[in-house]
């Protein structure tokens, strides 16, 4: 069975698919994709470039012939991987860049084997148009924004609260100068895709918990509407004792290496007193990471933190479980 499905129907049935296949090249897939999709490419990176070149410089017919030969060879390899991922008869969705030859070719082969195949009309381009439009017009308004100094445990609270959005997890960044310790961030498009699906899962009838962030999280830029709605939300400041904050920072940056440390220290030079910076570096050389963390918290992070003028509430977070209860009692 083979059917074409539009973006709206695809999203409505998203959770029903046993498998979602991205038929684009590995490089296109690695840059951004529909969440949960696996890459069974019609053309690999080199083949995709070659076919595009033939199409533009020689002829459309020759590009189709050459492309078809590559797709047949790749499909032959993917058939066994597909069977490993899901049994024949499963409901699968497939897309390429624009819903054209690449997804159509694989969809035809897979459907003839016995899979129930739904080819995404307009492909990834159509999906992205939906994402962009939604992020510019989403209806979510009832935000409860957790703010506070670095190390107060805001991220842990967000992760424990239901109906919440963990922006730092979506952006794979801790939201500070040292935040890139998490590794490579997703592309802007990939972040938007993740955020889009997260917003779709949110219950609009309940408060939406989110951590107060800057407009930029590492290299990721928050959508204008989301940033504005966060600014309009109820602000709850989270506090914690300095000893607890130091322990939290130590757990986040336990695997820090010399190159990363000195790189970040150079970046914060304009925002930290010379004496404090030199003391932090000396303590780092001595292996006293606890002292380094305390210096950075008091002389850098707290110094640059800008508390908003209007705060709905202030909650001391000495224990995650009790803090969650306080938040739920007041805002649920």
Strand segments (E) across 54-180: 91-95, 116-120, 143-147, 164-165
- Three-class SS state of 24: coil
Q: Which are the catalytic amino acids?
A: 96
Tokens found for residue 70: 């590559």
Q: Are strands 216-217 and 220-221 parallel, antiparallel or unpaired?
A: antiparallel
Dump the DSSP string for 216-277: EETTEE--HHHHHHHHHSEEEEEE--HHHHHHHHHHHSTT--HHHHHHHHHHTGGGS-HHHH
CB atoms within 10 A of CB 136: 11
Only one residue has tokens 């047949």, namely 72
């Amino acid at each position: 069975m083979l059917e074409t499905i539009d973006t709206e129907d695809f999203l409505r049935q998203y959770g029903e698919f046993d498998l979602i296949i991205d038929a684009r090249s590995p490089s296109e897939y690695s840059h951004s994709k529909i969440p949960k999709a696996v890459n069974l490419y019609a053309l690999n990176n080199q083949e995709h470039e070659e076919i595009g070149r033939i199409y533009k410089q020689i002829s459309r017919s020759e590009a189709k012939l050459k492309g078809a030969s590559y797709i047949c060879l790749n499909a032959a390899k993917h058939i066994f991987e597909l069977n490993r991922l899901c049994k024949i008869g499963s409901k699968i969705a497939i897309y390429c860049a624009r819903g054209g030859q690449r997804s159509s070719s694989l969809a035809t082969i897979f459907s003839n084997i016995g899979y129930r195949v739904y080819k995404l009309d307009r492909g990834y381009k159509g999906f992205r148009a939906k994402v962009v439009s939604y992020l510019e017009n989403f209806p979510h308004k009832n935000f409860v924004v957790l703010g506070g100094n670095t190390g107060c445990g805001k991220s842990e609270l967000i992760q424990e609260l239901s109906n919440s959005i963990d922006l730092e997890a979506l952006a794979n960044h801790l939201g500070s100068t040292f935040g890139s310790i998490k590794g490579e961030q997703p592309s802007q498009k990939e972040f938007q895709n993740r955020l889009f699906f997260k917003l779709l899962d949110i219950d609009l009838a309940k408060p939406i918990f989110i951590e107060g962030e800057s407009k930029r999280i590492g290299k990721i830029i928050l959508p204008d509407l989301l940033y504005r709605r966060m600014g309009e939300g109820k602000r709850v400041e989270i506090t914690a004792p300095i000893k607890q904050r130091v322990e939290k920072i130590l757990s986040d940056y336990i695997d820090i290496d010399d190159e990363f440390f000195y790189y970040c220290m150079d970046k914060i030079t304009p925002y930290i007193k010379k004496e404090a910076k030199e003391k932090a570096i000396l303590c780092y050389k001595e292996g006293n990471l606890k002292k380094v963390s305390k210096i950075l918290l008091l002389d850098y992070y707290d110094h640059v933190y800008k508390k908003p003028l209007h705060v709905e509430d202030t909650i001391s977070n000495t224990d995650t479980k009790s803090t969650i209860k306080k938040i739920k009692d007041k805002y649920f």
